[in-house]
A and B are shown apart, each in its own frame.
Chain A
Amino acid sequence: MIHPVDTILSLVLLSILFSFGSSRLSPLIKMLAFQGIVVCVVPLFVGQVMSGGNIAFTLVTLAIRGIIIPGWIYLAIRKVAIQRAVEPIVGFHASIFCGLLLIVGATLAGNYFETAYREVSDLLLPTAIALLGGGMFLLMARRNAIAMVLGYMMMENGIYLAGTTFSLRARHIVEFGILLDILAGVMIMAVILQNMKQTFDDVDTARLRTLKE
Chain B
Amino acid sequence: MKSNPSPQADAVEPQDERIQKVSFWKKALSRPEFGALAGTVLVLAFFIVASSGTGMFTPAGILNFLEVAAQLGIIATAASLLMIGGEFDLSIGSMIGLAGILIAIPAVEYGWPLWAAILLAFCCAALVGWINGNLVNRTGLPSFIVTLGFLFILRGLAIGVSRLLTGRTQVGGVHDHIPGDWFATLFSGEVATGLFAWMASQGWIATNFAGNPVVTGIPVSIVWWLALTALATWVLLCTPYGNWIFASGGDANAARNSGVPVHRVKISLFMFTAFSATIFACLQVMDTGSADTIRGLLKELEAIIAVVIGGALLTGGYGSAIGAALGALIFGLVQMGIFYTGVNTDWFQVFLGAMLLVAVLFNNFMRKKAMEAK
* A in complex with B: no
